[in-house]
Structure 1
Amino acid sequence: MKKYNFLTVILLGITLIGCGDKNKGENSFFTIDDSAFPAHFLPQEAVSIAILNPNAKEIDSVAYFVNDKKVGSTKGAEKFKFELKGQKLGYQYLKATVYFGSDSSDATKRIEVVSNVEPKLLNFKIVNTYPHDKKSFTEGLEFYKDTLYESTGEKGNSFLRKYDYKTGKTFKQINLDPKYFGEGITFINGELFQLTWQEKTGFIYDANTLKLKKTFTYEKEIEGWGMTNDGKYIYQSDGTEKIWKMDPATQKMVDYINVYSGTSKIKAVNELELINGKFYVNVFQKDAIAVVNPASGAVEGILNMSSLRKLMKDIDSGDVVNGIAYNPKTKTIFVTGKNWSKMFEITVSE
């Protein structure tokens, strides 16, 4: 077994393969010939598209689209070659609009582009151990001006807290309305953003006073999970393999990536933190942190956090690893879990 497959087992527990529904959207006139398509495509490869014409129609031209964006055309039924470089990882939807006589007809196929990166197994060292409120169902963790902030979940018990991580002393706490299940947080442009789980509602606070400035509704039909930012855009997870890119000024989604480790999509991406240009990602119900390239979505490294769970003698199986915060002052990472009584300060190395 290749090393990256072993690491994916740590991250996933399963391996997801296959191109899915290869016959989606086909019609009786033309089809895209997938007989030579591999189970998965790699980003450095190209797709050679040929049209099957069982009714021997006289084809004038064919226009080709990938994810509804036109990428080229041919005269007659010539083969068309499309380079996958620059495409997102994940499913790509091919469409050929075939023109014949005074009519046209569409043929479609779905292919899957997977990662060609072999993740590295990363090491970590515990620098310090601090107390953590065992009643905190941790969903978001972030430093702002050398102070740690935490967002917690569960309806009726969700709050936003500012506190001294060394002692556990709370400086300020905002309790959410019992109808909300709190999720990830991030600080950007002097504001604190907070998500909720299934309520499709987000909150914007003044970063210094924690006074609520605005409530917004999610633009997409998604759940709210983790959050982070790069100083210009917010990135948020929704419990799938997607990480969305949001404009904080409008709260509109402008793009997304799909997270893949080898041939496997990493579902249930949870808490996020952007550290030295890479996403550090909790994977729900897995004792692992994935290090993800924010441009491609490829998993480049994996931290096996199972040894931290073994240090916790007062948790059960539902108290999963969650919460990643980078302290730029100490250049260390703080990690904890849902209802954990401890928080760990770590350094990471290859």
Structure 2
Amino acid sequence: MKKYNFLTVILLGITLIGCGDKNKGENSLFNIDDTAFPAHFTQKEAISIGILNPKSKEIDSIAYFVNDKKVGSTKAAEKFKFELKDQKLGYQYLKAVVYFGSDSSDATKRIELVSDIQPKLLKYKVVNTYAHDKKSFTEGFEFYNDTLYESTGQEGASFIKKYDYKTGKIFKQIDLDQQYFGEGITFINGKLFQLTYKNKKGFIYNAKTLKLEKTFDYEKDIEGWGMTNDGKYIYQTDGTEKIWKVDPSTQKMIDYINVYSGESKIKAVNEIEWIDGKIYSNVWFKDAIAVVNPTSGAVEGILDMSGLRKFMTDITKDDVLNGIAYNPKTKTIFVTGKNWSKMFEITVSE
């Protein structure tokens, strides 16, 4: 347990999230009986849902829902057992529609589903160090055809550049209009996608020419942060614990995961990179990278990157770690930060 708490501090520096909603529902006829509920549930557990009937109504049947999806029903006031293995990490909303006589009434309850995986502390080795433009407020970082691309933020200073990471030579640079704060980028299907911070707008460029082909509006009222892809879908972050799954052909958000390290919700997930079937994630203002299972949202590994700061004497605590780019040719990872003067090529091991 001491090891787990140590890793949580590295990644979060916050206390654990509190237990699920223990307040009784507003319904005065029936309530979901939570007296035997633990503070948190995990995906390996099943939940037994029963109903409190303080006014002794004669119950005909009960229909049970999880996140508004019907999962089963019982006769009279029988309890209902539901396996949690296929549910997302995060808050789950239980509802029981109780039928009695010719009437019905709802009882609701919120529970929290957390990860039962203890993250591994991963090791890294710096194999090369390169200069990085200290004026770059790094937001997106990605290799495409063995060439490094970087997007930066700040209104009036946002751009995408294609450059030689060894020499710093810029092959091409696209400057955004001053109204836009550039964010994450990713290459998929011959296109370069880019997010903006609070403008709720994204851009799609031709991957070869970097010519702007299309703009799109966010489907939901969220901020744009990091971006990556698995070859079929785009994944993007919004500054919360969510990582959204997006259809690149329609830009529609089709699913999401919530990122958890054990019982702790990981908020402010930032720049992300798809590496060997996992999502490597920067966490805003943390010198750490979380390795996230893209199906469950569970943090499986943690990289403590705080040691990189000793190689730079010209950055402050506000110059945060942000930028993860995997080079499939060398099978190494490049990391940097906002206004960092260096970028580091690393290998990772357990």
CA distance, structure 1, for counterparts of residue 254 and residue 22 of structure 2? 28
Give the TM-score normalised by the residue count of structure 1.
0.99
Question: Relative to structure 2, which stretch is displaced further, 1-10 or 159-168?
Answer: 1-10
Q: Which amino acid aligns with 1:227?
A: M
For the Cα contact (< 8 Å) 1:293–1:300, is it kept in 2? yes
Q: Percent identity?
A: 82
| 2:146 alignment counterpart | 146
For the Cα contact (< 8 Å) 1:24–1:110, is it kept in 2? no
Matches within 5 A, 1:116-265: 116-265=116-265
| 2:267 alignment counterpart | 267
| 1:6 aligned onto 2:11 | no
Q: Which amino acid aligns with 2:332?
A: T
Q: Which amino acid aligns with 1:95?
A: K
CA distance, structure 2, for counterparts of residue 5 and residue 201 of structure 1? 39
CA distance, structure 2, for counterparts of residue 250 and residue 69 of structure 1? 25
CA distance, structure 2, for counterparts of residue 295 and residue 147 of structure 1? 29
Report deviation, 1:16.
2.6
Q: CA RMSD in A?
A: 0.9
Q: What are the superposed Cα offsets for residues 159-210 of structure 1, whole Å, 9 maximum, x if unpaired?
A: 0110000011111111111111100000000000000001100000000000
CA distance, structure 2, for counterparts of residue 95 and residue 254 of structure 1? 24
CA distance, structure 2, for counterparts of residue 108 and residue 19 of structure 1? 16
| 1:93 aligned onto 2:93 | yes
Report deviation, 1:312.
1.4
Q: Which amino acid aligns with 1:280?
A: Y
| 1:280 aligned onto 2:286 | no
Give the match's secondary structure for 1:59.
Answer: coil
Report deviation, 1:25.
4.6
CA distance, structure 2, for counterparts of residue 208 and residue 143 of structure 1? 13
| 2:325 alignment counterpart | 325
For the Cα contact (< 8 Å) 1:19–1:110, is it kept in 2? no
| 1:335 alignment counterpart | 335
Report deviation, 1:302.
0.3
Number of residue pairs aligned between Structure 1 and Structure 2: 350
For the Cα contact (< 8 Å) 2:25–2:31, is it kept in 1? no
Q: CA 1:19–1:341 in structure 2 vs 1: closer, same or farther (change >3 Å)?
A: same
CA distance, structure 2, for counterparts of residue 25 and residue 147 of structure 1? 56
Q: What are the superposed Cα offsets for residues 137-177 of structure 1, whole Å, 9 maximum, x if unpaired?
A: 00000000010000000111110110000011111111111
Matches within 5 A, 1:95-110: 95-110=95-110
Q: Which consecutive residues of structure 2, in runs of 5 or more, have no partner in the other structure?
A: none
Q: Which amino acid aligns with 2:336?
A: T
Report deviation, 1:5.
1.9
Give the TM-score normalised by the residue count of structure 2.
0.99
| 1:70 alignment counterpart | 70
Report deviation, 1:2.
3.1
For the Cα contact (< 8 Å) 2:20–2:39, is it kept in 1? no
CA distance, structure 2, for counterparts of residue 215 and residue 63 of structure 1? 44
CA distance, structure 2, for counterparts of residue 310 and residue 83 of structure 1? 48
| 1:30 alignment counterpart | 30
User: 4+ residue stretches of structure 1 with deviation over 6 A?
Assistant: none
Q: Which amino acid aligns with 2:187?
A: F
Q: CA 1:198–1:25 in structure 2 vs 1: closer, same or farther (change >3 Å)?
A: farther
Give the match's secondary structure for 1:183.
Answer: strand
CA distance, structure 1, for counterparts of residue 20 and residue 174 of structure 2? 45
Q: Which amino acid aligns with 1:246?
A: V
| 1:313 aligned onto 2:308 | no
Report deviation, 1:24.
6.8
Report deviation, 1:349.
0.4
Give the match's secondary structure for 1:39.
Answer: coil
CA distance, structure 2, for counterparts of residue 23 and residue 198 of structure 1? 35
CA distance, structure 2, for counterparts of residue 43 and residue 2 of structure 1? 23
Give the match's secondary structure for 1:309.
Answer: helix
| 1:83 alignment counterpart | 83
CA distance, structure 2, for counterparts of residue 24 and residue 258 of structure 1? 25
Report deviation, 1:26.
2.9
CA distance, structure 2, for counterparts of residue 265 and residue 197 of structure 1? 22
Q: What are the superposed Cα offsets for residues 16-58 of structure 1, whole Å, 9 maximum, x if unpaired?
A: 3223433375310100010111000011001111100001111
Report deviation, 1:310.
2.1
Q: CA 1:295–1:307 in structure 2 vs 1: closer, same or farther (change >3 Å)?
A: same
Give the match's secondary structure for 1:78.
Answer: coil
For the Cα contact (< 8 Å) 2:20–2:40, is it kept in 1? no
CA distance, structure 1, for counterparts of residue 326 and residue 125 of structure 2? 15
| 1:297 alignment counterpart | 297
Question: Relative to structure 2, which stretch is displaced further, 32-41 or 13-22?
Answer: 13-22
For the Cα contact (< 8 Å) 1:126–1:346, is it kept in 2? yes
Q: Which amino acid aligns with 1:59?
A: I
For the Cα contact (< 8 Å) 1:5–1:262, is it kept in 2? no
| 2:58 alignment counterpart | 58
CA distance, structure 2, for counterparts of residue 79 and residue 176 of structure 1? 58
